[in-house]
Structure 1
Amino acid sequence: MYLSRFLSLHALWVTVSSVMQHYPSVWGHYDVCKTQIYTEEGKVWDYMACQPEARDMIKYVKVTLDPPDITCGDPPETFCAMGNPYMCNNECDASTSELAHPPELMFDLEGRHPSTFWQSTTWKDYPKPLQVNITLSWNKTIELTDNIVITFESGRPDQMILEKSLDYGRTWQPYQYYATDCLDAFHMDPKSVKDLSQHTVLEIICTEEYSTGYMTNSKIIHFEIKDRFAFFAGPRLHNMASLYGQLDTTKKLRDFFTITDLRIRLLRPATGEIYVDEQHLARYFYAISDIRVYGRCKCNLHATGCKEENKKLFCECEHNTTGPDCGKCKKNYQGRPWSPGSYLPIPKGTANICIPSISSIGNCNCNPFGSVHDRCNDTGFCECKEGTSGTKCDKCLLGYIWHSLGCQPNVCDKELLQCQNGGTCLKNMRCQCPPAYTGILCEKLKCEKDPGGCSQNSGKGSVSNSPLLPLTTLLGVTGLFIF
């Protein structure tokens, strides 16, 4: 009775566990690459598409400036105060920490509440253009998940281009143009993201929204990732299933939000007027207090983690994949061409795991005692014996214990299936019975085998030779308890 009650409760737990595995929190299913579920064949791995969580990618960036000597302070120079272009007694001096403005101050924590910033030299060589390229490199493919935000301390530039690279800076393409006059600067009609649609979301535009000149309240420039997501997921991004479906089926859309490097091309500083005041050139320069880039490591839906080693980011690949982006199958797992995971079907996606090569079948090392065969089957997995689990069939399911010849059912258990009539459980393998008892659980009297019956004194525990044993003896009240 106890055993059947235990098995019923175990079956209920299995059912609840299996159900819970299929109802993760909203969009959390892409945070789990695989999970174990119970089927009629036993406990097996269920593989899913997965990806790392989004994070502040600025923590892992490397920044370079071109020209390299464009930062102010070497030699020291004075510049005009923000908001008061005729008060020009501020000093930039690279040899003094309080007066220096090096590039790393674009990314320090104080930049979120600006009191520190990077600053270029002033436009002292006018009319020669004052131009700077700021390159942000990750040495890793990343997927953008939020707006790129750049905070200027010098007024937003009159002309600027945000560019991206997908091949580690070998080639570049524009993301967006910024200007006070798009037609004059780039021969483009001005547009905003709100002018786009699902069909034109990949269009490269020039916007005049962020280039209003030399004003204290006009510091921030955006590249609007979320507004582009909204064309597919709705204004509040409540329908992410639609967005994921589009990303899965439209490669150009997915690549649009994918980068290895960003480049900020500053082409003309904020002037706030049509003509440059040549008598006060110290008022013209670039200064940036903060850059924000949020995204996730691109792992082709084959990893939940992304770690940093030797200042490089690597995906912690699952699904028998490998490489910085999980972009290829492991050795001996090239039984079919590598493929990225798929967001579809919603909600779990498709893992598209790499399977063993035909030449490697007979090698992935199935445990000879736990597996039906000593080699993988044609799907690349070991076929486990009853009560056995694990990728190599070297682990036991609940209710089984590993013996020298594999997983065997527990004969006894100190907490659940106890030996009866005072017997002692030895290593879950057998019951050590008192002298008068025998059987797997010490449930039988030895005297039953005696031709003289049980009337003779057979030691401790002598009982009547009646064919009907007392109920307490049958139930084993000395050790067994009932729910």
Structure 2
Amino acid sequence: MGGGKVYVGENKTRIWNLMMALLVVAFIPSTNQLRPPVLSRCYDRNKNPQECNPEFENIAHKKRVVVTETCGVDGRDPFCKLVEENGVVSRVCDVCERTGRRSHPARYLTDINDIGNLTYWQSKTFQPGEDSDREVELTISFGKEYELSYLYMEFASPRPAAMVIYKSMNHGKTWVPYQHYAKNCRRRFNMAFRTEVNRTNEQEVLCSENFSEVYPYSRGIIVFNPRDGRPSDEDFDNSYILQEWVTATDVKIVLSGLNDIPRNPSAVARIASREGRSALPGGGRRRMTSSGAWGIPRMTRGGRAVATRASTTALYHAGTRVSGATEVVATNSGTTPTTYSFGSSSYYAINDISIGGICKCNGHAERCLMKKGKMVCDCKHKTTGPNCDMCKAFHMDRPPQRATKTDANECIACNCNMHAKRCRFNHDLFEKSGRISGGVCVKCRHNTDGRYCHFCKAGYYRNNKTKSISDKRTCKLCDCNRVGSLGKHCDRDTGQCVCKEHVTRRKCNFCAKGYKQTGSIVAPCARIPVASTPPKGNPSCPRRCSSARGVRVSLGKFCRMGYAVVVQVTGKLTLRRKTRFTLQLHKTYKRGVVRFRKKERVDVEVRDRIVHCLCPKLQVKKTYLLIGKYNRSGGEPRLAIDKGTIVMEWKNKYKRRLRSLQRRARRRKC
């Protein structure tokens, strides 16, 4: 039993230690939590927009190059190349094949080269008598617009005597010349040799006589900088012409002329001495071999030169130095010798093509990425499009502009007062505003209209009860009477409909004073006819005065009236055609829109015609119940007594009836 207890205790200790370890691990922050957030280069630390561009890159790297010809594709293609070692010029001959170590496909143009493994592309060998101006084209497609900084080519053969660089800005649909190279620009292209242009024509195509000499026989370079010699180079961010000049989607290189390479070794040596003296060891003097030739050993068998295996040269392939003979037998141990016709060094061979530049995003993106099989910019600053050259749907208050070091030119949202989701840019309005705002709202909602959705559309008027124009209920329906109005439209500010003749009110739904409704759509209101003979009797009062017993106040009448108060007449003053009564309020049973204070004195002016017809007559120091409507003609509503006012001498028994009407009115909410 003792041993069992010890075992249980040890087990509990292990479980406890395991639980503590799990708790410690749970509270250790993850790697993602410790890693600081990555800030976009398109915004500064205060999250203000700033210019940003993708990283500079070799655009041509691993890109597919389309060439018009390649050696070895149609069968073995013999060739010879000139190699200079330690001041000795030798002719090294070999065979180009379709595949294997002796192949020179186009993919070698854009692969990674190092000194120990210089792969290269090679064209077909130009045979004696063949046109040396036969053009060979090399085309590189980027898949998107790029801004080019340089084009670099390193040759494995002598550089061409003539070459043209073309560019396309529409993915190869059309091509324009970019740069010419020739030994003699005037003779070859009828162009002057120039390295600079003037400001009036910054997209002028130039011709250069640099980089066209036959020497060096290999590793010669051609470098083209499209911004070189352009006046706006120092102000590139603000030069749209120069920005377009360096933009391309494709580049085509046309090799259009071979340099003449003589078969005579002494002539080859003289060319090397003349064109590359400064690069030669020993002060530019080449040494002769003991045989008197320029380092070209003679190996013959049966009167023919024999190509045997030699050590690998610096240009990847094995070859054999031979004389200027035209027949060479290539032998391998255990195989039958094969005879080739060597001696021609006329071909193009290129080690590497590099094109430096950046993905064109107009300063609004820090990277380009693949979307739906196409390379596009990852746009910021409210921009969109493959090159960030457009503003987003609701950010078109000014035209899209390239970001600069001083201004990110972020797209600005349109001012549509919260009533639209899209807008468009109008250049004329932008210019008229002093180049400040050119946005026009599209498809205004909530019954609004206008450039900024800032007024109500036809058939609606501004609701003055709303706080701002951005309220979705800012516009109310005109609701014009279809019989009394001339249409559905009304004044956008007041809501007043356009009424027909003798029709009044905002909605045109009442006849004017002295007119009655006719039922006609054309003339809905007509004048009330006036009797030609005076009426019999006294027309001053339309009704006879009766006792209060005949007056009954219904709930409907109580609801229609504006006030119901108990007052005492404390004063009476006769004016011209009016009588002013001073009333002291004792009790309010319905006040409507006016708040009364107890014992408040109110002056009410009543026309004499109404005073004569009042029943009962208002007398000083007597108390009355008044039920009537307010006079709203002066702006603020005032207590009024007119022909529709109910006047009754006050009796306490009316309290019960009036309280009942109050309760029923509250329930009915009249």
Post-superposition Cα deviations, 1:63-122, rounded to whole Å, max 9, x if no partner, equal: 2123xx4443431111102338984630111132x1110101011112677621001111
1:47 corresponds to: 49
Q: CA deviation at 1:217?
A: 5.8
Q: Supply the distance in 2 between the matched residues of 1:361 and 1:288 (Cα, whole angstroms).
A: 62
Residue 47 and residue 95 in structure 1: after superposition, are their counterparts in 2 closer, same or farther (change >3 A)?
A: closer
Post-superposition Cα deviations, 1:417-451, rounded to whole Å, max 9, x if no partner, equal: xxxxxxxxxxxxxxxxxxxxxxxxxxxxxxxxxxx
**1:212–1:272 CA contact under 8 A, matched in 2:** no
TM-score by length of 2: 0.41
Post-superposition Cα deviations, 1:168-224, rounded to whole Å, max 9, x if no partner, equal: 111211111111222221112223x3x556666543221111110153366101103
1:123 aligns with 2:184: no
Q: CA deviation at 1:232?
A: 5.7
1:80 corresponds to: 80
Q: CA deviation at 1:247?
A: 2.4
Among candidates 292, 298, 305, match of residue 360 of structure 2: 298
Q: Supply the distance in 1 between the matched residues of 2:112 and 2:177 (Cα, whole angstroms).
A: 29
1:283 corresponds to: 345
Residue 321 and residue 113 in structure 1: after superposition, are their counterparts in 2 closer, same or farther (change >3 A)?
A: farther
Residue 360 and residue 324 in structure 1: after superposition, are their counterparts in 2 closer, same or farther (change >3 A)?
A: farther
Please state whether the residue corresponding to 1:265 is helix, strand or coil: strand
**2:104–2:122 CA contact under 8 A, matched in 1:** yes
2:658 corresponds to: none
List alignment gaps of at least 5 residues for structure 2: 1-38, 265-323, 327-341, 423-451, 453-670
Among candidates 153, 162, 171, match of residue 168 of structure 1: 171
Larger Rg: 2
Q: Supply the distance in 2 between the matched residues of 1:258 and 1:182 (Cα, whole angstroms).
A: 25
1:34 corresponds to: 43
Residue 262 and residue 360 in structure 1: after superposition, are their counterparts in 2 closer, same or farther (change >3 A)?
A: farther
Amino acid at match of 1:301: G
Please state whether the residue corresponding to 1:91 is helix, strand or coil: strand
Residue 101 and residue 265 in structure 1: after superposition, are their counterparts in 2 closer, same or farther (change >3 A)?
A: same
Q: Supply the distance in 1 between the matched residues of 2:245 and 2:413 (Cα, whole angstroms).
A: 30
Amino acid at match of 2:130: P
Q: More strand by proportion, 1 or 2?
A: 2
Q: Supply the distance in 2 between the matched residues of 1:273 and 1:361 (Cα, whole angstroms).
A: 80
- Give 1:241-320 correspondences, 5 Å limit: 243=234, 246-272=235-261, 282-308=344-370, 312-320=374-382
1:329 corresponds to: 391
Amino acid at match of 2:217: T
Amino acid at match of 2:178: Y
Post-superposition Cα deviations, 1:343-379, rounded to whole Å, max 9, x if no partner, equal: 2xxx432323152584975769xxxxxxxxxxxxx9x
Please state whether the residue corresponding to 2:165 is helix, strand or coil: strand
Q: How many residue pairs get matched?
A: 309
Asked which structure has the greater RCO (Cα within 8 Å, sep 6+), the reply is 1
Amino acid at match of 2:214: G
- Give 1:35-434 correspondences, 5 Å limit: 35=44, 37=46, 45-59=47-61, 61-66=63-68, 69-83=69-83, 87=91, 89-96=93-100, 98-110=101-113, 115-124=118-127, 126-128=129-131, 129-145=133-149, 147-191=150-194, 193=195, 196=197, 202-216=203-217, 219-225=220-226, 227-228=228-229, 243=234, 246-272=235-261, 282-308=344-370, 312-330=374-392, 332-336=393-397, 338-343=399-404, 347-355=405-413, 358=416, 361=419
Amino acid at match of 1:33: C
**1:62–1:138 CA contact under 8 A, matched in 2:** no
Structure 1 vs Structure 2 CA RMSD: 3.7
Q: Supply the distance in 1 between the matched residues of 2:401 and 2:263 (Cα, whole angstroms).
A: 52
Amino acid at match of 1:206: C
Amino acid at match of 2:403: S
Q: What is the identity percentage for the equivalent residue pairs of Structure 1 and Structure 2? A: 26
Q: Supply the distance in 2 between the matched residues of 1:263 and 1:117 (Cα, whole angstroms).
A: 18
List alignment gaps of at least 5 residues for structure 1: 1-28, 38-44, 234-242, 365-377, 379-483
Q: CA deviation at 1:311?
A: 6.5
Q: Supply the distance in 1 between the matched residues of 2:417 and 2:64 (Cα, whole angstroms).
A: 43
**1:338–1:354 CA contact under 8 A, matched in 2:** no
Residue 78 and residue 143 in structure 1: after superposition, are their counterparts in 2 closer, same or farther (change >3 A)?
A: same
Amino acid at match of 1:95: T
Q: Supply the distance in 1 between the matched residues of 2:417 and 2:263 (Cα, whole angstroms).
A: 72
Q: Supply the distance in 2 between the matched residues of 1:311 and 1:318 (Cα, whole angstroms).
A: 21
TM-score by length of 1: 0.56
Please state whether the residue corresponding to 2:83 is helix, strand or coil: coil
